[in-house]
Each structure stands twice: as C-alpha cells, then as structure tokens.
Copies of this chain bind each other. A is one copy, B any other.
Amino acid sequence: MNTHSKTVYYQEAFPILMAVDCVIFGFDRQELKLLLFKRKIEPFKNEWSVIGSFVSPTEGVKESAIRVLEEYTGLSNIFMDSLNCYGEIDRDPGARVVSQAFFALIRLGEEEAQMVETHQANWFGLNSIPPLILDHNQMVKDSLEKLRRKTRYQPIGFELLPEKFTIPQLQSLYEAIYQRQLDRRNFRKKILSMNILEKLSEKDKSTSKKGAYLYRFDSKRYEEMVKRGIDFVL
C-alpha cells in the first residue's frame, strides 16, 4: 500500500470512522463482571461505556482492540474474539461511526487493578450494569449470548482462572457464565473425563477446612481439544 495508489483507486468510496469496542468480562473467583468506563470525549462525556477507541491508520482492527485492552488493563495475550459489527447509520450522533465489537475474558487479580483505576474504569456485576451509551447495552447482551454459546463448543472459560485452580472454582465459573446451578458430581465427572486437567498434590484451603485439590491444565491436550472443537455441553 502506498499513498499514490490510495489516491488512484476507490475514488467513489465514502470514508467513515471505524471504532473498536471491547466487552471485557472478568472473573473474581465468585462472580462474572464487566469492565466499563466513563467516556472521556463528547458526546456523552462521563457516561458509562464499554472500553473502545477509534482504529488508527497504523493498526489493524483486531490489533486496535488488543491495544485498547492493554491500555486499560495492562494485560496482553488475552483471549479475545470478535463479536459483531455495529453499523447502523445513526448509531452514533457524533458522526458516522462503524464499530467492530470484541469480547475478552480476563481473570481479576492485582495486575490490572491499578490501570483500571487510573482510567476511571470500574467492574460491574452482571446484575448491576448501568445504562450505557449508544448501542453498548446491546453489545453486552450479544457478548453474553456469544460467550454462553461459545463455551458449548470450546472450553473457553478456562482463560478466566488462575494457573492452579480447584474443581469447585471451575464449577463456580461455569455457574457464573450460565447463571444456574450445576450438579457437583456430574460436573466433576464430565470435566475429568476430558483428560485436560492435571491433578496436583497441593490443596487450596482458602474456602474450606478440608481443602480442595488444585488442578492445572494439560495445555497440550487442551489445544488438541480446541482444535477438534469438541462438544462441551453442561
């Protein structure tokens, strides 16, 4: 691509603004949360919004989303999937803006807390999401649906856990995603039958006196499974 060809081709095309918006889910060992921030520019300055940015000339659309995520959380190498294109003509009264939305999953810990703070961002529980600007409430709704659907054919939720985790923790995660209770025995049976977990000899005693065994992913088997797109219906 060079400047010359840009001016030669596509004369009839109409330039528009391209944005990315990231619906970021975080899991704090209990609850699934959503990262929102107070928008810094007009229109709708200081109203709640999912995090986003315009796509700059020097980056691809997906890179733009990755950059935004890193700016706000300091995290990179995060699972992120594209969600949908929001391209209604009047969706943004500020200009003709087409937004490509993404959703990402992160594990809440210390790392991101500082950066989230300095950006005036905040985590919200799924049941207390405030009104958002533009079509962002729709984006969130769509993300949740996609997240739930996607966990059915990819064991996606694992991204949200620490390296070592217990089976009850993993179960809480799925319960948070699906918003319903699961049977302990069946859950354990199913997850173990996939042979993607490696049992450690340590226990985590933070949530019970007896303590629960810690597990770790067998990432090799995990990769294989993702590739084969195995069903994973709970």
Residues of chain B within 8 A (CB-CB) of A62 are: 87
Residues of chain B within 8 A (CB-CB) of A16 are: 15-18, 55, 57
The number of residues on chain A lying at the interface, defined by a beta carbon within 8 Å of a beta carbon of chain B, is: 49
CA distance A210 to B140 in the complex (A): 53
* Shortest CB distance A58–B (Å): 7
* Shortest CB distance A84–B (Å): 6
Residues of chain B within 8 A (CB-CB) of A63 are: 89
Which residues 167-224 of A have a CB within 8 angstroms of B?
none
* Shortest CB distance A69–B (Å): 16
Copies of this chain assembled into the complex: 2
Residues of chain B within 8 A (CB-CB) of A76 are: none
Residues of chain B within 8 A (CB-CB) of A94 are: 1, 5-6, 8-10
Residues of chain B within 8 A (CB-CB) of A137 are: none
Binds B, one of A30-38, A96-104, A113-121: A96-104
Which residues 11-25 of A have a CB within 8 angstroms of B?
12-19
Known contacts A42-B9, A43-B9, A95-B1; is A100 also within 8 Å of B82 by CB?
no
CA distance A211 to B186 in the complex (A): 48
Q: Which residues of A contact B (CB under 8 A)?
A: 1, 5-6, 8-10, 12-19, 41-43, 54-64, 82, 84-85, 87-90, 92-98, 100, 149, 152-153, 229, 231, 233
Return the contact of A58 from the options B89, B92, B233 (Cβ within 8 A).
B89
Q: Are B93 and A10 in contact (CB under 8 A)?
A: no
Q: List 16 A-B contacts (CB under 8 A).
A: A1-B89, A1-B93, A1-B94, A5-B43, A5-B94, A6-B96, A8-B94, A9-B43, A13-B19, A14-B17, A57-B96, A60-B87, A61-B98, A98-B98, A98-B100, A231-B233
Known contacts A1-B90, A5-B93; is A10 also within 8 Å of B55 by CB?
no
CA distance A178 to B12 in the complex (A): 40
Q: Are B54 and A13 in contact (CB under 8 A)?
A: yes
Q: Are B88 and A14 in contact (CB under 8 A)?
A: no
Q: Are A59 and B1 in contact (CB under 8 A)?
A: no
